Chain A
Amino acid sequence: MEFKQTRQGYVDGLKELAKDHDNLVVLDADVAKATKTYEFEAEYPNRFFNCGVQEQNMLSVAAGLALEGYIPFASTFGVFATCRAGDQMRNSIAYPKLNVKIGATHCGISTGGDGASHQANEDIAIARVFPNMTVLVPGDYEEAKQATIAAAKYDGPVYLRFGRDSYPVVEEVHSDFTIGKAKLLREGIDITIITTGIMVGEGLQAADTLSQEGYSVRVLHLPTVKPLDTEAVIAAAQETKGIVTAEEHSIIGGLGEAVAGVVGEHHPCPIIRVGVQDVFGESGQANELLDLYGLRAKNIVEAARKIL
């Protein structure tokens, strides 16, 4: 299995976009080596602005650049973008619906060794609650690149979520990326697994396990958490017996609750949310933490069995 970083997909997307988008600029807040935007800086030094350790200022500056017709990509870690600079995301960017893209890396428990302070398990919830925000959570390197390119071509604020680690390359998600569109990876009638971000690989593995047991499993991948593809989600609720959601994020406020909300209003069915169970993480290697916090195919399978 091949492993690649989603944050590398981000910067590769930026470099590709820069060629024919003269108004694309990149900002960072002293984590350019970690977010990988230093690679953009190396190629386009005049279109890169390192704001220092100033996430709040950076997001408002990005708003100003957008007001002057630029497409700013403001890059930092997810915890800083959403928690430290939440006011700026809300009032400088989302409220006036400015064309600012927030490239957030080091999201989720797989951030690893830095521990809970740096593991953004709440960022989807925060970004998604602001009106006008679009929230993209790509599943692998290629999809991260696609999401970055799609974000640049969309006029409005976008929160892009990437991880720190290297994650499995999942060929199945490399079809066309359209903001707001789910990707139907497996057709099935017994149960639906809905994934976002890096949980797509685990979701597919879980489907394989359940299929071997004779179940017909639908796998729906949602690289856009907002706007949610409600049509695909409602269809899953109507056409299968229940839904397991899987996200590398708190079960509060993320994909699981977004799905539960839509399903509850339109076609109630059993739903189990696989994700971080309302706890802070801890230091460890990414793989250890994904095991420890229940973010594996086997956890999805266990959840599915409760419904089946």
Chain B
Amino acid sequence: MIDEEKITELKKKAIEIRREIVTMVHRANSGHVGGSLGATDILVALYYHLMNHRPEQPDWADRDRFVLSKGHCTPVIYAVLADCGFFPKEDLKTFRRPGSHLQGHPHQPKTPGIEANTGTLGLGISTGLGMALGAKLRKQSHYYYIMCGDGEIQEGQAWEAAMFANKYKLDNVIGFVDRNYLQTDGNSEDIMPLDPLAPKWESFGWKVFTIDGHDYQQIIETVEDAKQETKPVMIIANTTKGKGVSFMENEVSWHGTPPNKEAYENALKELTDGI
């Protein structure tokens, strides 16, 4: 059991991160706010509790790696990395601006803490697996956390990767499907159905857990369980796109639309109330 105090602390951190997300996207007038808000709790649990990392030494060999395969959700990873100290928070103001290291989609050579270039969907899963294979060859014991979107795994490459992880028994991989049922054009089950999703991954040789992706107790306990597995693990995390901002929740229109001034101010009001 994780103590309540820790969970309260993580929840507070998540509000700070969500405020930063809406601020970045509003300021840039560009970016993906809905998916970033939905994935926030998982990233907070990882970076502020589960992962071993050293912001002052981003290339530390034994660090756990996180690959944001749903690369459009840069606002959440940038907000988290800046808050952890990988780069100055001031940099967040340059998001999506010319000259910035904070590109619309992750660019590993430029941004400390970003582990892989992702953004065209499906690529990050495979890249994460290649990294995990590399660590296996050296018998290193750190973990690879790979987060993919549910829409993303409509890509064929995701299932190529699923086979590959099974073949090479990559039990150092802990994946998340950010299962919010929404993609750019609508509900995933209308656009290209994915359910039943858990049996798909199971049949590809992965151990699957299904959790509430906003419940810190579940996220943390499941990752601890996942580490005991001898197969690659996929955690299907049921999430709410736009989580934390009532008018953005479950609204597909907030996938890639930046909030205007009014929406931004209203969002901040809601996110202030929670602290």
Report chain A residues within 8 Å CB of B116.
63-64, 67, 92, 96
Residues of B close to A64: CB separation below 8 A: 116, 126-134
| Residues of A with C-beta under 8 A to B163 | 52, 54
A98 CB, nearest partner CB in chain B, Å: 8
In the complex, chain B residues 77-134 whose Cβ is within 8 Å of any chain A Cβ: 107-109, 115-117, 119-120, 122-134
Is B161 in the interface zone, CB < 8 Å from A? Answer: yes
Q: Which residues of A contact B119 (CB under 8 A)?
A: 91
Bound Cα distance A70, B115 (Å): 15
A101 to chain B, nearest CB (A): 14
- Residues of B within 8 Å of A25, CB to CB, are 137
Q: Return the contact of B123 from the options A46, A66, A88 (Cβ within 8 A).
A: A88
**Which of chain A's residues have a CB closer than 8 A to the CB of B265?**
none
Interface assignment of A114: CB less than 8 Å from any CB of chain B:
no
Q: Which residues from B are CB-within-8-Å of A87? A: 120, 123
Given the interface pairs A64-B116, A91-B119, A92-B123, the reply to whether A57 lies near B161 with Cβ below 8 Å is yes
Q: A54-B163, A57-B164, A61-B164 are in contact. Are A91 and B120 (CB under 8 A)?
A: yes
Q: Which residues of A contact B127 (CB under 8 A)?
A: 60-61, 63-64, 67, 92
- Would you give the 0/1 interface string for A72-113, flagging 1 where the beta carbon is closer than 8 Å to chain B? 100000000000000110011001110000000000000000
Chain A contact residues: over half helix, strand or loop, or mixed? helix
Cross-chain contact A65 with B126 (CB below 8 angstroms):
no
Instruction: Report which of B133, B157, B164 forms a contact with A65, defined as CB distance below 8 A.
Output: B133
A96 to B119, CA, bound (A): 12
A54–B122 alpha-carbon span in the complex (Å):
13
Q: Are A60 and B126 in contact (CB under 8 A)?
A: yes
Contact B134 A68 (CB under 8 A): yes
Q: Please, which residue of chain B has its CB at the minimum distance from the CB of A85?
A: B157
Given A49-B168, A67-B108, are A60 and B134 also a contact pair (CB < 8 Å)? no
**Does B135 sit at the interface, judged by CB under 8 A?**
yes
Contact flag A96-B168 (CB < 8 Å), given A56-B156, A64-B130 = no
- B160 and A57 contacting across the interface, CB-CB below 8 Å: yes
Q: Is the CB of A96 within 8 A of B108?
A: yes
Task: List, in ascending order, chain B residues with CB within 8 A of A97's CB.
Answer: 109
Contact count band on A: 20 to 34
Instruction: Give the nearest-CB partner of A57 in chain B.
Output: B160
In the assembled complex, A232 has its CB within 8 A of some CB on chain B: no
Residues of A within 8 A of B131 (CB): 64-65, 67-68
CB distance from B148 to the nearest CB of A (A): 13
Report if A268 contacts B (CB, 8 A): no
Q: Which residue of A lies closest to B109 (CB)?
A: A96
For B144, the closest partner residue in chain A by CB is A64
Known interface pairs A60-B130, A61-B133, A96-B107. Does A67 touch B160 (Cβ–Cβ under 8 Å)? no
Whether A56 and B160, one on each chain, are in contact in the complex, defined by CB atoms closer than 8 angstroms, is yes
A125 at the interface (CB under 8 A from B): no
Min C-beta distance of B249 to chain A, whole Å: 31
B109-A54 in contact (CB<8A): no
Q: Are A67 and B157 in contact (CB under 8 A)?
A: no
CB distance from A298 to the nearest CB of B (A): 45
Looking at the assembled complex, report how far the CB atom of B245 sits from the nearest CB atom of chain A, in whole angstroms. 31
CA distance A54 to B160 in the complex (A): 6
- Across the interface, which residues of B come within 8 angstroms of A95, CB to CB? 107, 117
Nearest chain A CB to B62's CB is how many angstroms away?
12
**Residues of chain A at the chain B interface (Cβ within 8 Å):** 25, 46, 49, 51-52, 54, 56-57, 59-70, 72, 87-88, 91-92, 95-97
| Nearest 7 Cβ contacts at the A-B interface | A64-B130, A68-B134, A60-B126, A61-B130, A57-B160, A64-B131, A54-B160
Q: A51-B160, A87-B120 given. 20 additional CB < 8 A pairs?
A: A46-B137, A52-B163, A56-B122, A57-B164, A60-B123, A60-B124, A60-B127, A60-B161, A61-B129, A61-B130, A64-B134, A65-B130, A65-B133, A65-B134, A68-B130, A68-B131, A68-B134, A72-B130, A88-B123, A91-B123
